[in-house]
Structure 1
Amino acid sequence: MLEKELQDALNSQINQELTAAYNYLAISAYFEEENLVGFANWMRMQHQEEMEHAERLQTYLLDRGGHLELEAIEKPRSEFSGALEAFEFSLETEQENTRSINALYEKAFRLNDHATKTHLQWFLTEQVEEEKSVEEVITTLRMIGDDVAGLLYLNDKLGERKHDESEEA
């Protein structure tokens, strides 16, 4: 059985993951409206990943005898000055997720909950990948600058992203 403090922290992290998913869904719509369907695809894949993260945490919480308490999610930001600003906002979202997961891990460590620490290990590794993938797009967008051909090339490349089946493991 989970301690109440850890149950509350897991519920908070689930809400954090759902908030990130909601943000990515809104950013995807922004890119659709801008006719950048490759960028929109990339953000939809991020949305799916965040939903899977929330579900993974929910399953763990319930498997440990915890109680799920979903919170309201704020309206996501949906307007940006361009692709770079949208990806910078995405990086902020991922960095907030990382801070939140780190705090959750610290709490599990302090409470000596080895099962939760082990479960969270996957999330710690995943966040390194999440931040890196967003940072790579930001770096490319900065190199592209105002080059429309470069933006369209990146749009095509991001449109090739498929759902990662290993994510579900």
Structure 2
Amino acid sequence: MLSDKMSQALNEQVNREMYSAYLYMSMSAHCNQTGLKGFANWFMVQYHEEMLHAMKIYAYIQRQGAQVKLAAIKAPPASFESPLGMFTQTLTHEQFITRSINDIMELAIAEKDHASQIFLEWYVTEQVEEEENDNDIIAQLKLIQDNPQGLMMLDRELAGRMTTVPTDFSKGIQSAMASAGA
């Protein structure tokens, strides 16, 4: 069973993960509108990953006998200055999420909530990957600078990213994970 503090922290993290999905959906829409279909694809795949992150926490809260308390999701920006600006914002956001996960892990440690510690380990590892991916794309965008051919090559590369996480949670997270082979 989760303590009230842990339940509140996890519910807040559901909201942060949902905002992440919302932010990446907005970035995808912006990229589609500006003709960067590969970037749009990358951000839409990221949207699906963030939805999985939220749903895993949502299911964990319920499995622990606590109440899921959904909160309003703030509106993300609708336009962005450049692909580099978007990925810089993405990295900053993911660093915020990393700090949030770390704070919840510290709470789990302080409360000797071993189940939550084990559950959160996946998120700690996932955040390392998230920040690494963003840093890699930022480095490529800095190399490209104002070269439209380079931008188009990266756009084509990002178009190849595929969703590898479940996207249908109608029968629950466990069923979705099993169906996706995850």
> Which of the five TM-score ranges fits, normalised by the shorter chain?
over 0.9
Residue 81 (structure 1) aligns with = 81
Identical pairs, percent: 39
Structure 1 runs (4+) deviating above 2 angstroms are 165-169
Alignment partner of 1:69: what SS?
coil
Residue 15 (structure 1) aligns with = 15
Contact (CA 8 Å) 2:52, 2:166: kept in 1 or not? no
**Is residue 2:102 matched to residue 1:102?**
yes
**Is residue 2:40 matched to residue 1:36?**
no
User: What letter is aligned with 2:43?
Assistant: M
User: What letter is aligned with 2:41?
Assistant: N
* TM-score, normalisation: structure 1: 0.97
What is the CA deviation profile of residues 79-101 of structure 1, one whole-angstrom value per residue up to 9, with x for unaligned ones? 11110001111111111110100
Task: List alignment gaps of at least 5 residues for structure 2.
Answer: 168-176
1:166 offset after TM fit, Å?
8.8
User: What letter is aligned with 2:72?
Assistant: A
Residue 114 (structure 2) aligns with = 114
Task: List alignment gaps of at least 5 residues for structure 1.
Answer: none
User: What letter is aligned with 1:147?
Assistant: N
User: What letter is aligned with 1:158?
Assistant: L
1:165 offset after TM fit, Å?
4.1
**Is residue 2:155 matched to residue 1:149?**
no
Distance 1:115 1:8 in 2: 16
Corresponding pairs, count: 169
Alignment partner of 1:163: what SS?
coil
